[in-house]
Amino acid sequence: MIVIIDERELVKGGFNSLFSREGVASAGFAPSEFGDWVDSAADDDRRSVSAVLLGQCGDIDLSPSRIRDRTNAPVIALCEQHSLENTLKLFDAGVDDVIRKPVHIREILARVSAIRRRGSDEARFTEVGPMRIYSDGRDPEVDGEPMPLPRRERRILEYLAANSGRRVTKAQVFNAIYGVFDDSVEENVVESHISKLRKKLREKLGFDPIESKRFLGYRLAT
């Protein structure tokens, strides 16, 4: 889930709409709201934050260091003042990257993936038989060849791989893929996505690596 922090409703709504078109979960917060949410959020919800986009915050002191006290997600500043002085000031404040507006939403996603790749101390992939599942937005590979998947099916597979060996519930998968604030989509859509994903995996691998148990959830067999 991408978090957008900005005091302007129009900006938050615009980014939410653009991310939704790309199949990426997002949530917008006013600067004064973000701390309250993240302090009270469950651990799974905080871990579902893949990046924080820091926009216009007015007089609210919401520095990158304060954000990192609450989440390990990269912090990216959205810059509207195209000057070297302002860019250097933002980097000095501790942001991971500065993006000048206007910017295509796919560039933001590419920058997020690049930062997470650089900052990861763990292996960036999980292997299941002949399949390699990446954690940076790339399609999985089977015998070294890419296996293209729709974004949400790929994100579900990435989430299961990130929780390898643990069983996750339908609600946890939903929150990771759609975000904890999306009430426009029914939670049961997860079952449809996983059903399609399992069919493709069986066709490609010759077996189904996703174990499911009613009421208990899903687990990736590694």
Going by C-alpha positions, the residue among 164, 172, 174 that lies closest to residue 211 is 164
Measured between alpha carbons, how far is 153 from 196 in angstroms, rounded to an integer? 8
How is residue 28 written in tokens?
């917008």
Distance, in Å, from the CA atom of 127 to the CA atom of 131, rounded to the nearest integer, reads 6
Contact call for residues 176 and 26 (beta carbons, < 8 A): no
CA atoms lying within 13 Å on the CB side of residue 39 = 6
Write down all domains in the chain, each with its CATH number in brackets: 2-119 (3.40.50.2300), 125-220 (1.10.10.10)
Q: What is residue 103's DSSP assignment? A: -
Length of the chain counted residue by residue:
222
The pLDDT of residue 21: 85
**The pLDDT of residue 147:** 94
DSSP string computed for 109-152: HHHHHHHHHHH--S-SEEEETTEEEESSSPPPEETTEE----HH
CB distance 189 to 150 below 8 Å = no
Nearest to 148 by CA among 160, 134, 159, 161: 134
Q: What is the pLDDT of residue 182?
A: 57
CA angle 108, 109, 111 (to 5 degrees): 65
**Ordered per-residue pLDDT tens for the chain, 222 residues:** 899 999 999 999 999 999 988 888 888 999 888 877 777 777 767 777 889 999 988 777 677 777 777 777 889 999 987 788 888 888 888 899 999 988 999 999 989 888 877 765 445 788 888 999 987 778 899 998 999 999 889 989 988 988 877 888 888 888 888 775 556 667 788 899 999 999 999 999 999 999 988 878 899 987
Extended beta strands in the chain, E state: 2-5, 26-29, 51-54, 75-79, 97-100, 125-128, 131-134, 141-142, 145-146, 210-213, 217-220
Say what the pLDDT of residue 181 is. 59
Give residue 140's pLDDT: 92
